[in-house]
Amino acid sequence: MRRAAKPPEKLTPSSVYVRIRPVTQTGDCGHTDGEAVSKQLVSWDRASVKMRDSDRNDTTRYRYTGVIPPEMEQEEAFNAMLPNMLTDFQANNRNVLFFAYGQTGSGKTHTILGETESLASVEPAPGWGIFPRVVHSTLQLMQQWREAGVRSVLVASAVEFYCGAAFDLSSAASIKSEVTIDREANVFGARSKEITSTAQLKRWITKMYRHRTTAKTNMNDASSRSHCAFILTLHKLRADGRYVKTTFSMIDMAGSERAAKTGGVRTSGLEAGLEAMKMMDAGTPEKLSIGAQGALINQELSLIHTEILKAADMHQKGLPYQAQKELSTAASFYFCACCDGRAHVGACVTVSQSPQHGFESWFSLQFAEQLAASRVPQRQIKPVPMADAQEAAVRAAQETAKKLAEWGTDPTPQGAKQWRVFALQQGAAVHAAETTVFLQKLTDARDGTDAGDADTDGSSDEECPEPAAPKLRQLTKRSALDTGKINDAFSVFIRVCPSRSRFPPLDREKAKGTTECFAVADVDFSRDPPPQRITVCTPEPASAASTSFVFDRVFGNAQGQEEVYRSAVQPYVAEVLGGTNVTIFAYGQTGTGKTHTIVGPKEDPGVVSRCVRDLLQGLPGTGKELYYEYVQLYLDEFKDLLLEEPDVELKLLDGGRSGPVLQNATRRRARHAEVVLDDLEKGAARRATRGHDLNEVSSRSHAILMLRLVDPGDDPAEAAASMFIVDLAGSERVTRSGVTGQGFDEATSINQSLTALGRVVVALLDNQCSGRNFVPYNASPLTRILRAGLGGNCKTGLIACVTQAADSVSESVNTLRFAAQATHVQNKVEKKEVADKMGVEREEIEGAGHSLILERGKGVVQLPTGPLEVCGHWDGASGSLDRVVILLTGLNAVPASLMGLSGTLAAKGCQVLVPKLPGTTEKDLESDVQALISLIDWLGLARPVLYGRDWGAIRACKFKLSHPKRAAHLVLEEHASKLGEKEYRAKMKKDPGGACFGYVQWMWFFDGAMPKSMESPPGKNMKGFKGNVDFLWPMCSKGRHDPQGRSGVTKMADMFARVVKTKAVDSYLMGDEELAELIASRLRC
């Protein structure tokens, strides 16, 4: 049977505009005049330009999509050229390629970028070009999307096509890294920068301006000697859970020119190629360089011209077009890859009015008309489920890593073809890593947390993640101690990389010098020893000159291992022996002395050796036994360091009070310090390391030592207390460390995990300020295993390591900023006596419990107060009583209304019950509470999590007031007003007063009467309320989402939230999945 022919693709004309350069105030046309020619521009209208040829005595009209006259300002030009292309990029799921083409000095860069000075304004200024206006428009639209439940990330990258190759324009001019391009126009190796504001855009564009290659010629004082592509990538997660990615590439092409006019020496193509190889040589004559550059530019423009028209011709004949391998330059390959229907193609062809440049204008107008007449396909990108996109990104990362590993230990293939394949695979690895990061960012934004900027060249230390909320941003500008607050549960110490005669300084440090970059001084503070302030003294970078922070202690390079241990770590040993969990971890750039601090050499041991000795010395008085495990996290997989050749997969489990547990990890009892330390020394030797430009012996994995105090006869996994000591691998920029191949994969994995760590810290602080509750612990195995030490049941000590090396001051400042943010993390440390008492009470309650079996999700419990109907998802045989959630309905609501949420919670490993409480009016509140405590006692539940919807939330509050120790956490939701616009209108038509009914119950119970004002304190009914609460309220007005609270709903929600000592969270867009994730996370609090 013959297969049906594929239907021909719809062909669309390219959008081509001609822009006439205005005459300047001095009366010229923007550049030095040349010889007079016969061709002259004579007139133009809205869609055509006329040119006269005096030799032939005739006039030719050239037609286009539109003409931008010289008097038209930048904003008008933008509105004339870009609306359709912008809509395709933002809303129609199409890629866009827009380029500026024309003679040198005719205004291409002015059209694309505009004037950098104009970017000082955060709103569009008259001098703004196309690129900043596209960014501004997209940022505004993203804000509207956010209010509608659509999450998005906008990322910018820049590529310079110079001398036939492609380079990352964000790299400094002297160390530009080469990038590669595949047949689908994907650019690999160019650093991506998330853009969140126009202020940030100004800094980025200014940097790109500074890095591009220019030269002074007779026609232009700053003539572009390369084509520059500014690429915007929009990652979008729609409200229906589907993901789509589109790109908008704007290319400022180098201008066509004649050597006689520019002042260069005319060269042939061969001579130009030879001169291109010597361009960076200071001895190359300037005129020869300009001539060679011009020849290469003209050759590329001619090739691009030919291929674009060839692609259009093949499409019109119904034949596929594909960029040829033989295309000699990166620029031509990129353009032609976009011509295969992958983008909506548009162009602005700039021409001069000068009669002396009529020949160049004629050539540009001819090309523009041919391009305007061409027709090419424009394919729409289909959104895919977010889970599929994430799976594809992870799979791509794994496949590219596998391909790179096949090159072996020598990452330098021989031959141009082999090198291109290798470079493509290496670039694809970075691209996959970038995609994974941005997909996770979208998911986190949907789940309630926004990470800071993400620079994804495999580097996490360009900027420390910065919170978006103004209040939080203000909070983290200073450390907790700097604001006068003492955080005993999370102490932060700074260590300046010590001088080590055993390890001679690297050539890099010798060359850059190790001058004193920091000044340290005691702070007047009522504590002994006092905190210390560290100030950055070097003027590089400029923004760091006034940077200073206050920390618990700052250890200079003259202070040894003993003093660091005694001041920073030894107090925690007593805490562990007393039954408190402790986490110690070292953080910082690669090569700053983290491993030296944590492990150290035998003759000058670090934290690990001294902790083990002190723990064993203090052990006899506790009646406990000490066990230890030692693992590394390498490429996101845990490896056992206590085994010579580990062959068992280690699985990370949440664990109990003493922190996470690694299933199948080797666990040994510690009896003698020397035996333990010998074991750990052998394990450290198995740890992955690699030498590179920044560190001769760089750790390529995170090492975790887990020490657990256990009662004799108990399972070591159920420890009385634990101490985790973590030596984090160092963050690094791959462009500085010089790693390739497997080393590149290692650096990317390290930086991604450290980025996840930074985002967890930001989310924890954000929650304290905004009332949000989601923390992305699951983004990385590193943050999962450190969970207890980051906002959990643990005391934490962070040792942040920095270096005096002058070339690393920006990385050191980022480390200090991260450390300052960490000082605000609030851990929930549980006292041992309280925990022991609660444990005994829990055992007594559970021991008196009964088993419950539900048939088809329904059952009846015979309580002392009478029979009680229940439904839900309950496994009476093997279900855990540690993960129980009780869902409480509103008045007159049937329990079945919560069965959907119950099923979603059950899928997350929860035991769920929905009781049908006996009360039918507000007066039955006491009897409802009595029935609920009877049910909890009958089941033997110590402290379940309670979720209350509408009046069910009032029931939960009353229960907590009556039995404060019998509910672990409350999740309260106002659900009655969560209506769509159509539902709202129908309800108001039936009951005009119904809009207020949902609020009356809260007012009645929380205040006992109508409050006098929105700022009224809680009334008599809620006095003495204590507990952990999530308060969910749909921010909506007349059935429409209103996240800004313009209707006053926010004030009312905040008033009620203050009563339960929390902040209101907008739940209008929250579905069962997100709600269940929130409730399930409270089981681990």
588 labelled as ligand-binding?
yes
Rounded to an integer, what distance in angstroms lies between the CA atom of residue 1071 and that of residue 349?
50
Query: In angstroms, how far is CA 358 from the centroid of its own chain?
Result: 51
- Cα separation, 14 vs 925, in Å, equals 70
- Exposure letters 864-876 (e unless 16+ CB within 10 A, then b): eeeebebbbbbee
Residue 597 among known ligand-binding residues: no
592 is in an annotated binding site: yes
Q: What pairs with residue 351 in β-bridges?
A: 20
Alpha helices in 776-924 (DSSP H): 781-785, 809-822, 832-847, 899-907
Query: What DSSP designation does 855 have?
Result: B
Element (H or E) spanning 71, and its range?
A: none
For 350, phi and psi rounded to 5 degrees? Answer: -100, 135
How many contiguous H segments (helices) and E segments (strands) does the chain have?
A: 31, 45
What is the token pair recorded at 350?
């700039």
Residue 109 assigned ligand-binding role:
yes
In angstroms, the Cα distances linking 488 to 255, 315, 430, 815, 951 are: 63, 69, 40, 21, 39
At how many degrees (to 10) do helices 994-1007 and 981-990 cross?
A: 90
Give the helix ranges, DSSP H, for 726-808. Answer: 734-737, 742-770, 781-785
CB 532, CB 549: distance < 8 Å: no
What is d(CA 913, CA 939) in angstroms, rounded to the nearest whole number?
A: 11
C-alpha 185/C-alpha 334 separation (Å) is 6
Q: Are strands 702-710 and 625-634 parallel, antiparallel or unpaired?
A: antiparallel
108 is in an annotated binding site: yes
Q: Are 871 and 906 in contact (CB under 8 A)?
A: no
Using alpha carbons, select from 586, 636, 599, 571 the residue that is nearest to residue 818.
586
Before 541, cis peptide (omega within 30)?
yes
- State the sign of the Cα–Cα–Cα–Cα dihedral 358, 360, 361, 362: positive
* End-to-end Cα distance, the chain: 63
Are the C-beta atoms of residues 899 and 871 closer than 8 Å to each other?
yes
Q: What is the DSSP letter of 565?
A: I
CA angle 955, 961, 963 (to 5 degrees): 95
CA–CA dist 476, 488 (Å, integer): 18
Residues 332/300, Cβ–Cβ less than 8 Å: yes
* C-alpha span between 98 and 69 (Å, rounded): 19
24 is in an annotated binding site: no
Cα-only R_g, the chain:
33
Judge whether 741 is annotated as a binding position. Answer: no
Tokens 């036939």, located at residue: 164
- Who contacts 1071 (Cβ-Cβ below 8 Å, separation ≥6)? none
Cα separation, 97 vs 70, whole angstroms: 24
The reply to whether 102 sits in an annotated binding site is: yes
- Identify which of 638, 668, 640, 634 has the alpha carbon closest to the alpha carbon of residue 651: 638
Q: Is 25 annotated as a binding-site member?
A: no
241 is in an annotated binding site: no
Residue 704 β-bridge partners: 631, 726
| DSSP E strand stretches across 207-252 | 214-215, 223-224, 227-237, 242-252
Asked whether residue 593 is marked as a ligand-binding residue, the answer is yes
Tell whether 858 is in a known binding site. Answer: no
DSSP state, 171?
A: S
624 known ligand binder:
no
Is 795 annotated in a binding site? The answer is: no
Q: How far is CA 708 from CA 402, 576, 716, 724, 1085, in A?
A: 37, 9, 7, 9, 21
**In angstroms, rounded to a whole number, what is the distance separating the alpha carbons of residues 694 and 459?**
14
**Integer angstrom CA distances of residue 992 from 63, 137, 950, 995, 1049:** 62, 40, 19, 7, 18
Binding residue ranges for ATP: 102-109, 588-595
Binding residue ranges: 102-109, 588-595
